[in-house]
Amino acid sequence: MFLSVFDMFKVGIGPSSSHTMGPMVAAARFLDRLRASPFQAHGLRASLHGSLAFTGVGHATDRATILGLAGFVPETYDAERADDVLHEIRQSRHITPPGLRALQFDPERDLAFDYGPALPGHANGLILRATDAQGDVILEETYYSIGGGFVLTAAELEASTADKKKARADVPFPFETAAEMLAMANDSGLSIAGMKRANELRFRSAAELDRGIARLWEVMSACIDRGMEGTGILPGGLKVRRRAKGIHDQLLAERGLNMQAPHTINDWMSLYAMAVNEENAAGGQVVTAPTNGAAGVVPAVIRYWLDHVPGAAPSRIGEFLLTAAAIGGLCKHNASISGAECGCQAEVGSAAAMGAAGLCAVLGGTPEQVENAAEIALEHHLGMTCDPVRGLVQVPCIERNGLGAIKAVSAASLSMRGDGQHLVSLDACIETMRQTGRDMHEKYKETSLGGLAVNVPNC
Question: Domain with 274 in it: what CATH number?
Answer: 1.10.4100
Read off the pLDDT of residues 174-209 as tens digits, 9 standing for 90 and up: 999 999 999 999 999 999 999 999 999 999 999 999
Report pLDDT digits (tens) over 230-240. 999 999 999 99
State yes or no: pLDDT of 169 exceeds 80. no
* Assigned domain for 7 exists: no
Is-contact 319 209, C-beta < 8 A? no
232 and 152 in a common domain: no
- Taking residues 364-372, report their average pLDDT: 98
How high is the pLDDT of residue 166?
47
Residue ranges making up the domain that contains 352: 169-455
Alpha-carbon distance values, 178 to 40, 326, 337 (Å): 50, 9, 16
How many structural domains compose the chain? Answer: 2
Same domain flag for 187 and 272: yes
Are 253 and 135 part of one and the same domain? no
Last residue of a domain, one of 128, 161, 194: 161
| In a shared domain, residues 354 and 289 | yes
Q: Any bridge partners for residue 14, and if so which? A: none
End position of a domain, from candidates 132, 161, 190: 161
Mean pLDDT, the chain, as a whole number? 96
Residues 348 and 217 in one domain: yes
In terms of domains, do 144 and 237 share one? no
Contacts 24+ apart (CB under 8 A), 153-158: 153/29, 154/119, 154/121, 157/121, 157/122, 158/121
14 Cβ neighbours under 8 A, 6+ residues apart = 20, 279, 280, 281, 282, 283, 284, 285, 286, 292, 295, 393
Residues 47 and 176 in one domain: no
Residues 129 and 260 occupy one common structural domain: no
- The answer on 175 and 136 residing in a single domain is no
- What pLDDT, in 10s, does the model give residues 109-120? 999 999 999 999
Question: Strands 103-104 and 94-95, how do they pair?
Answer: antiparallel
Whether 283 and 134 map to the same domain: the answer is no
Asked whether residue 82 falls in the same domain as residue 221, the answer is no
Segment 219-273, tens digit of pLDDT: 999 999 999 999 999 999 999 999 999 999 999 999 888 778 999 999 999 999 9
**Which residue in 112, 86, 100 sits closest to 43, CA to CA?**
100
Q: Is residue 5 part of a domain?
A: no
Q: What does the alpha-carbon distance between residue 180 and residue 356 come to, in Å, rounded to a whole number?
A: 20
**Any idea what the CATH number is for the domain that residue 72 is in?**
3.30.1330.90
Task: Report pLDDT digits (tens) over 13-66.
Answer: 999 999 999 999 999 999 999 999 999 999 999 999 999 999 999 999 999 999
- Does residue 264 share a domain with residue 182? yes
For residue 55, being part of any structural domain is answered with yes
